[in-house]
Amino acid sequence: MIPRKKLRQAVTIIPQEAVLFNGTLQTNLDPSGNVPAEVLENALASCSGIASFHYRNNSNTEETESSRTQSLNGHDSLDSEATEQTPLLSQADTINNGTSSPTKVSGALSLSTAVKAKGENFSHGQRQVLSLCRALIRKSKLMLLDEATASMDYETDRGVQAVLRKELNNEATGARDRTLVTIAHRLRTIVDYDKIVVMSAGRVAEVGSPRDLYNQKGQFYEMVKHSGEEEDLAKIVDGEETDVGSE
């Protein structure tokens, strides 16, 4: 029997609803405080190509006054503290600008970026990206994604998948030495995986490689056919086209 602590350390799960805690970005990525800042920064930098993810490392924290403040339709600019704590992408803390709709501001993140309870100052997509960063830091041999990108737009999902495929490869040998298990409804998310398990009514309907299942013209084939993007998916299955950073 595998000890519970050892099992938890060996497996990383990215759920559909990511959880962040009150503190800073650094304490969320490394609650134990045992991981060097360079490792945390590298994980954030690896995700910098996802959608509008912006990362500012500690060596480049000096900003000009114009980049730290923004005018708000004729109103006074935000103070530097509010801007400095603005998280990634276009979602940020809001202020009341005297109208019924608060104005959102954007900016790059750093390890000292403030995180509110439950990560409420981050959007759903942002929390998922940070969960991905947390998974990369752990370097677990087994990673489980439970509809982790279901609420993301296609481009963000594609960016996450590309990072995962890159990070699964052993830097020294170039071979994949970790296993990724993904539960997903979006076919593009898993169409280039090594093996697909098709579930129907709580039971396993089909198991095999994407190409084998497609050629069998069973349930997987029908899903591809009625996906609205059959041509693109078929090319990926046949190896004629790569997607989401696949090898």
Tens digits of per-residue pLDDT, 192-244? 899 999 999 999 999 999 999 999 999 999 999 999 999 999 999 988 665 55
| Domain with 141 in it | 4-182
User: How many separate domains does the chain show?
Assistant: 2
Q: Evaluate whether 127 touches 18 at the Cβ level (below 8 Å).
A: yes
The tokens for 62 are 């000096």
Answer yes or no: is 160 within a domain.
Answer: yes
> Between these two residues, 88 and 124, which has the higher pLDDT value?
124
Of 135, 166, 182, the residue that ends a domain is 182
Do 37 and 84 lie in one domain? The reply is yes
Answer whether residue 92 shows pLDDT above 60: no
- Residue 162's closest CA among 17, 241, 49, 16? 49
For the chain, the straight-line distance linking the first and the last C-alpha, in angstroms and rounded, comes to 36
Place of tokens 């409804």: 185
Q: Which of 190, 192, 50, 55 is nearest to 132 (CA)?
A: 50
Regarding whether 18 and 29 lie in a shared domain, the answer is yes
What is the distance of C-alpha 240 from the center of its chain?
26
Same-domain pairing of 141 and 123? yes
Q: Based on the fold, state whether residues 134 and 233 are members of the same structural domain.
A: no
- Name which of 161, 216, 208 is nearest 184 in CA terms: 161
pLDDT score at 120: 87
- Kindly state whether residues 52 and 169 are assigned to the same domain: yes
Which among 148, 118, 114, 121 has a CA at the least distance from the CA of 27? 114
Evaluate whether 44 touches 133 at the Cβ level (below 8 Å): yes
Tokens 């995700």 locate to 47
Higher pLDDT, 103 or 189: 189
Quick one: 70 and 110 in the same domain? yes
Handedness of CA 157, 137, 169, 56 (dihedral sign): positive
Q: Look-up: residue for tokens 């805690």?
A: 21
Instruction: Output the pLDDT for position 147.
Output: 87
Instruction: Considering only residues 150 and 43, tell me which one the structure prediction assigns the higher pLDDT.
Output: 43
Q: Does residue 229 sit within a domain?
A: yes
